[in-house]
Chain A
C-alpha cells in the first residue's frame, strides 16, 4: 500500500483480516500460473515475457496468462499443420 506511512498500528490490525483473503487468493493464482508457465515447453523469451506479466501485474496478470498465454497449446492443432481457417484443404 502506498499509504503505508499514514496508517497506524491498530489500523493495520483492523485491515488485516480483510486483506488476508485477497492476499491468499492472489498467492494461489500467482503460484499456479507461475508453476504452469515453468512446466511448459516454450521458448525462454516466451517464459520471461509471461513471467513478467504474471509477477508485475497484480491479479490480472495470472488471469491474462490463463486466458491468453495458454491458448496456443489448447487451441492449436497438435500436428504440424496450418493455422485454423474457415475451410481446410486436404
Chain B
C-alpha cells in the first residue's frame, strides 16, 4: 500500500476517534439552519418579544431566497464558521510536531511532502463535506420558507467559496508549521483571516488579490448568476497563495531541527 494512503487513513481514524468527523459537519448544519430561520422569523420573534419600544421602528428588508443563502455564507460561514475551521485545524501540525511524532514518522521512508499533503487532503475533504452539508440544510430551509434558487448557481457559488476555505486551511497549516503553541496558532490565524475578510468591505483594487474576496464572488454568483470583475485573477492568486503556504510549511519544517521523543 502506498504511504500517502496510509497517512490519509491515519488522518481519517484520528478524525473519527476525536469526533471531529461528527462535530464539524454538525456545526455547519447549525449555521446553515440559523440564517434562513432567523431571517424568516425575525419579525415574528420581535413581535412576540413584545415589540419594539415605543417610538422606535425598524424596517426589515424583504429578503429574497438567494439573498438569504448568500448571507448564510457571509454572515454565518465566514464568521463563526471561520473560527470553527481554525479550531478544527489549529493542532493538526503542531501536536505531531511538539510530541515528536513528526520527527519519528520521518525516520521511516515518508517525506514531509507526503505528510503535509495527507493533512491537507484529509482536512480538505472534511471541510468540503461540512460546508456541503451545512449549505444543503440552508438550501432546504430556504426552499421551504422562501422559494427555490437555481441549483447550478448554488453549486458554482459554493465551489468558489470552497477555494477560500482551502486557503484558510493551508494558511493554518503554514502557521502551525511556524509556531508551536496551539492558542497562538489559533489567535494569529483567526486574526489574519478575519482581517482579510473585513477588508473585503472596503472598496479598492487590492481586493482582487484577496482570497477572502472569493466569498464576495460566491455571493454574487448565487444572487445574480454573474461573477464580479477580475474573478479569474482572484482565483489564480488564491491558488498560488495556497501553493505558497504549502511550500513554506514544507521548507520551514525541513530546515528546522524538529522536537523529538
Contacts and interface: CB of A to CB of B under 8 A. Distances in A.
Contacts of B23: 29, 62-63, 66-67
Interface of B is mostly: helix
Given A3-B48, A62-B23, A88 B100 contact: yes
Contact of A18 (B48, B141, B260, B261): B141
A70 B22 contact: no
Nearest to A85: B259
A7 B48 contact: yes
A87 B259 contact: yes
Contacts, number: 70
B30 A22 contact: yes
Interface of A is mostly: helix
A24 B156 CA distance: 30
A28 interface: yes
A42 to B, nearest CB: 16
Nearest to A79: B261
B91 interface: yes
B18 interface: yes
A70 B259 contact: no
B93 interface: no
Contacts of B84: 63
A41 to B, nearest CB: 16
A71 B182 CA distance: 11
B246 interface: no
A62 B49 CA distance: 28
Given A59-B30, A87-B259, A88-B259, A67 B22 contact: no
Given A21-B33, A22-B33, A86 B180 contact: yes
A55 interface: no
- Give the 7 A-B CB pairs with smallest separation, nearest first: A84-B98, A3-B48, A6-B48, A75-B95, A77-B99, A66-B23, A67-B87
Interface of B: 14, 17-20, 22-23, 26-27, 29-30, 33, 37, 45, 48-49, 84, 87-88, 91, 95, 98-100, 137, 141, 144-145, 180, 182, 259-261
Interface of A: 3, 6-7, 18, 21-22, 25, 28-29, 32-33, 36, 59, 62-63, 66-67, 70-71, 74-77, 84-88
